[in-house]
Structure 1
Amino acid sequence: MTGDVDDRPGATHGRLVEAMNSGVLATDESGLITAWNPGAQRLLGYTRDEVLGKRMHLLLRRDAAGHVPPERDCRLLRALRTGVSAHGDGERFAHRDGRLVMCSWSAAPIYTGDQAGTGSATGAVAGLVVVFQAAADQVAVERERRDRLAQVQRANSRLALVAEITTVLSSTLNEKDLLRRLVRLVVPALGDWAEVDLLIPDGRVERVTATHREMSAADIAGLEGPLPPVPRTPRGPLARVLRGSATVVVSGGADVRSDEPLGAAQYELFQVMDAQSAIIAPLAARGETYGALTLGYSRPGHGYGPDDKLVVEDVARRTGLVLANARLYAEQRNTAEAMQRNLLTPLPQPGALRLEARYVPATQASWVGGDWYDAFALPDGATGLVIGDIVGHDLHAAARMAEVRNMLRALAWDMAGPPSGVLARLDRVMAAVSDAELATAVFGRVEGSPAGPWHLRWCNAGHPPPLLITGDGGTHFLDEHGPLLGEPDLTGTRPDGTRLLPPLSTLVLYTDGLVETRGTDLADRLTSLRRHGSHLAQLPLPDLCDKLLERVEPGGEDDVALLALRTPG
């Protein structure tokens, strides 16, 4: 009947294909187009008559350059050859007017045994059905998403790098060590090479470290060392940065070349590094410039944009703060060490007896101060020996040490009694006139005639035991001891000890920094001291002191004071 709707399955499918907004085409087994719906015409411009019987691959497929790709690379034809469904995103189809249209597509094979609507797949591949639609917007969105993701990942990696740099640099206060660590961290993350030029406090400039991702350490070492001074009127970028200028980005060696000696030295470095681009950032903190960090790329096409500049400046700023702290630490440590050394008096050489002393400051400024040694002649001809340690570490401890040392020396000179009496009197005087709370000390008297024999009388107030080393290598700790100084109510409980000092024997008095190290057993450390003392017994006294410090290896957590006496043969 006229006007009746054809509801046969094939006709229904045909109407659906015609109504689709997506493009739909079909091919036979050789890839010739056999069907083309209106959606395909809207997307690619070709009419049905223009495409029917044409080879789909030659007519529609294009690569990024607009050329027909090899058939072996065409995934649409591969689906036709293999009979396996396929899909693609962001691939180029040729428009009738020559434009390239980005499309996403799905392709399914047609089999000779297909029955409409049954979904069966039997027989040989008789053709291909391709459904495609414009994907330019989708591709642009996906590209933007990937770009933003890459930016986030790059930002996160650089934040992690900055955090790692901060942690690593904060682990040391040695200038050259921290700068060597710095350049190893920023290459290759922020450049192909890096170097640091440092302003030395006396006005010199020194390239303290450099590195390159492809150069050996031996090649790099030749680039380090003193540089020409910063000119009064800086012209080159490095000189300007060292004089307090902001970060400078340069495109290569030509931008750093100048007639000033410092600029010539920087140009020579750029030539060796094959610099294509670079950035020079000041290492500054608290209004002072300490040096410059230079990063660069040797590969063409790489440079430093605004985001890179911010990261490099952040790294340089953090490094400048660490350098400022390192120099403050060094200044404090040098002050404390100088004060401590100035408070340690020169040793006498009483007759045939020989005396040697060593002082090794702690590795941190806040740990310096409080340890002392002393030796002096007494009115009755004996030689007084003192080793001591004020509780606490800092300049105040060093000052209190000087008070206690002077009081002990005066009391020992004035009192003819046993060492324990001198220390008992010192307890009472400390409580009355000094703010030193607690201290340990050994006070001894070495008595004898030039021909011998020699004797030691001593009293130990809570201090590590002196070590006696005989000429044949025998060792003995002088273990008698009593409570610390600073507790006057406990006076009288410290015993005096007496010991014969055989010919060519060595008496070693030391502070706890020599034998007490965090994480080690004190008994083991004392055994080590005793063993090394025995092995070194026959060395000259100065060598014995040096070797003992070298072999026992103090931990550096405290000062070490050492006083050694040797009797004649």
Structure 2
Amino acid sequence: MIPSDARKITTAAEAARARVLVGHLAASLGAPEIERARFLTALTAQLRESLGQGGAELGLTVREPGPDTPARLAVVVRPARPAAGRTAPWHLTLSWPGATTRPSLPEHPDDSLSAEVLLTADEETAAVLRRLDETEELLRLHREELHQTNQGVLAMHAELDAAAVTQRELLHAERVARGEAEKARRLLTFLADASAVVTASLDHEDILRRLPGLLVPEYASRVEVWLFDEDEQESGNGRHSAATVAAARTDRPQHAGPHPGGLPGTDDLPPSALSPDRPLLCIPLAVRRTLGVLTLTAPGDRFDADTSIMLLELARRIAIALDNALRFEQHRDTAEQLQRAQLTDLPTADGLHLAARYLPATRGLNIGGDWYDAFFQPDGSLLTVIGDVTGHGLRAAVIMGQLRTALRAYAVEETSPARILTRLHRMLCHQQPNLYATAMIARFRPGDPRVTWAAAGHPPAVVRAPDGAVRVVEDKPGVMLGVPVPFEYQDRTTEIAPGSTLVLYTDGLVERRSDGIDAGIELLVQTLAALPDTGLEDLDACAESLLKPLVHESERDDDVCLLLCRTMPPPGC
């Protein structure tokens, strides 16, 4: 420890010498240049302030470094006239580790004052400048690094912004794609379901009735169909929009609305006077020919492009369904007219009343090969015939007509029902191979209570006696007509009392898929037995009474023929 040194400072020279002294002590103790410069700068400022207050007393205390203690230089400045408000003297301590030399004071501080001050100031200034240069270089490096970091951050933010934009665009595109896929799935599902509905019927009026239920209100607010072969009363009020007429004339879809629709494959026209507020989509119903025009009123302000494509395809399928239905109806009507032309009026015979019914099938083409007939032979006998050609349609009706005509021709030469069937069998085998028929012929002679009959694979006749008893005319029938085997039919004789009723029928009356033919014949026997005696007087009413429980209101797969033959008792009985 160096004893404390106290000095009076009253002039600038004394202040300078004091600063030099303190600087010399700090330098001799090995104080770092920067800390020494800060320490001396603070001391100089305090001394300058003290000179302005009349001087000060400078106290120095120096402690040498020890093994565990650092070197320390303490300075105390006591102003000669303390400033108002200041009571404690100003003091400053400089301490640092690592000093190894003993401090020494200058021998001639006054002589070396100027040189010491200059050298010390330059040394301290150089240290500060070096530190300043180092700091500026470090600051420059930090600034450059910060700039590069900022550029990287900005680039990263730009990439993040671009990635966010791309992500939003991808999400939007995905939502749009999902929406379009769902819309396409919904349209395709509707197209498949609607196609199944319109193609399930062969009645064109039924198809037209179903269209509004399919399309309104989701795809159209109104549906109109103009078929060219209908008159104006059937197709509506006879007024058609200009777009509908244009579609019929050009065979191209037309769009009429306040604004162009821009629909694929569709021409745009001005709005229709019949629908000025909502657009119309008029689509020709064309297959091999143009059948008509489907006119749709938009459900909203416009037609959607994707929906219009689906509607165009649906219209094409509707046209196919209508064309099939119209062709079927035409074919059915032709066959029905041909068949009904074969069903002649029943003759009137003494002692015998006749009644007949024919019901076409309600499924399929509706026309089959069932027929009945009754006519006189040259000897005065009455032949009653009932038959059934396999199959349905125009061919079955044509073959039925051929069989009926041939049977009548053979009956002119043959009196035996069996021989007539034998000749029919040979003809059918020769002229129509792979086509079969069943038939039954019953021959009535005037005044003879016996009935001669023969059957070719046909269901048995049923007889009701005058006392109400009902029996089935059981006998093994011959093979079906047309079966490719030689066969000779045999006549059978059944006695029928006067007042009895003989019932001839085709299998459509008694055969059901679930029950078979035996159950149907049993139901016919029960129904015939249940009829009151008074109900047999009117054979037409009797025929209706038999049909009602046996032929249901539901659809039938086969035709039904029924022929009733009632023998009358002699007068007076």
State if a TM-score over 0.5 links the two structures: yes
State whether structure 2 residue 228 is matched by structure 1 residue 228: no
Task: Return 5+ residue gaps in structure 1 as ranges.
Answer: 4-14, 23-37, 44-102, 105-131, 208-225, 259-266
Given that 1:251 and 1:276 are in contact with CA atoms closer than 8 Å, whether structure 2 keeps it comes out as yes
Q: Does the CA contact (< 8 Å) of 2:244 and 2:295 recur in 1? A: no
CA 1:385–1:308: 2 relative to 1, 3 Å: same
User: Residue in 1 aligned with 2:190?
Assistant: 161
Alignment partner, residue 66 of structure 2: none
Match for residue 287 of structure 1 among 269, 275, 289 = 289
1:491 aligned partner, one-letter code: F
Give the drift of 1:292. 1.6
Aligned CA distance change for structure 1 residues 133 and 155 (closer, same or farther; 3 Å): closer
For 2:374 and 2:305, locate their aligned partners in 1 and report how far apart those are by CA, in whole Å.
66
Is 2:517 the counterpart of 1:522? yes
**Paired residues for 1:31-46 under 5 Å:** none
Counterparts of 1:542 and 1:458, CA distance in 2: 23
Counterpart check, 1:560 vs 2:560: yes
Higher RCO structure, 1 or 2 (CA under 8 Å, sep 6+): 2
Give the letter for the 1:508 counterpart: V
Q: Secondary structure at the match of 1:347?
A: coil
Deviations 1:500-551 (A, max 9, x none): 1441x43222222333344443233333333444445616322333444443
Shift of 1:236: 2.1
After superposition, residues 179-328 of structure 1 pair within 5 angstroms as 179-191=208-220, 193-199=221-227, 201-204=229-232, 206-207=234-235, 226-228=236-238, 236-251=242-257, 257-258=272-273, 267=274, 276-297=278-299, 299=300, 302-328=301-327
Q: How does 1:394-543 map to 2 (within 5 A)?
A: 394-417=393-416, 419-431=417-429, 437-449=435-447, 454-470=449-465, 474-480=469-475, 481-487=477-483, 491-492=487-488, 494=490, 496-503=492-499, 505-536=500-531, 538=535, 540-543=538-541
Return the alpha-carbon distance in structure 2 between the equivalents of residues 528 and 342 of structure 1. 31
The alpha-carbon deviation at position 155 of structure 1 amounts to: 0.9
**Could you tell me how far 1:161 is from its partner in structure 2?**
1.3
* CA displacement, residues 215-274 of structure 1 (integer Å, 9 cap, x when unaligned): xxxxxxxxxxx42166xxxx622333344542233447996654xxxxxxxx3xx69xxx
Which of 162, 176, 179 is 1:150 aligned to? 179
Q: Does 1:351 align with 2:356?
A: no
What CA distance in whole angstroms lies between the structure 2 residues aligned with 1:331 and 1:470?
A: 45
Instruction: Give the structure with the larger helix fraction.
Output: 2
Superposition deviation, residue 137 in structure 1:
3.1
CA distance in 2, matches of 1:456, 1:324: 51
Q: Which amino acid aligns with 1:346?
A: D
In structure 2, distance between residues paired with 1:204 and 1:530: 52
Q: Is the 8 A contact 2:369 2:388 kept in 1?
A: yes
Assess if the C-alpha contact under 8 Å between 1:205 and 1:229 holds in 2. no
What is the TM-score of this pair, normalised by structure 2?
0.63
Deviation at 1:174, TM superposition (A): 1.0
Provide Cα deviations, 1:57-111, integer angstroms capped at 9, x if missing partner. xxxxxxxxxxxxxxxxxxxxxxxxxxxxxxxxxxxxxxxxxxxxxx99xxxxxxx
What number of residue pairs does the alignment pair up? 415
Structure 1 CA distance for aligned equivalents of residues 216 and 437 of structure 2: 51
Q: Are the counterparts in 1 of residues 425 and 482 from structure 2 also a CA contact under 8 Å?
A: yes
Preserved contact between residue 285 and residue 319 of structure 2 (Cα < 8 Å): yes
RMSD between aligned alpha carbons?
A: 3.9
Alpha carbons of 1:245 and 1:391: their partners in 2 closer, same or farther (altered >3 Å)?
closer
Q: Which structure shows the higher strand fraction?
A: 1
Write the distance in 2 (CA, Å) between the matches of 1:187 and 1:416.
67
5 Å-filtered alignment, 1:312-391, equals: 312-363=311-362, 368-391=367-390
Structure 2 residue identity aligned to 1:345? T
Distance, in Å, in 2 between the alignment partners of 1:279 and 1:522 is: 55
Runs of 5+ consecutive residues of structure 2 not aligned to the other structure:
1-130, 136-145, 260-268
Q: CA deviation at 1:557?
A: 2.4
Amino acid at match of 1:385: T
TM-superposed CA distance for 1:470, in Å, is 4.7
| Counterpart residue number, 1:115 | none
Query: What's the TM-score once normalised by structure 1's chain length?
Result: 0.63
Q: Which amino acid aligns with 1:413?
A: V
- Specify the code of the residue in structure 1 equivalent to 2:494: T
Aligned match of 2:165? 136
1:4-43 matched pairs, under 5 angstroms: none
Pair member with larger Rg:
2
Q: 1:510 to 1:436 in 2, by over 3 A?
A: farther
Q: Secondary structure at the match of 2:298?
A: strand
Could you give the per-residue CA deviations for residues 466-498 of structure 1, whole angstroms, max 9, x where no partner exists? Answer: 233456654332232222223585534645141
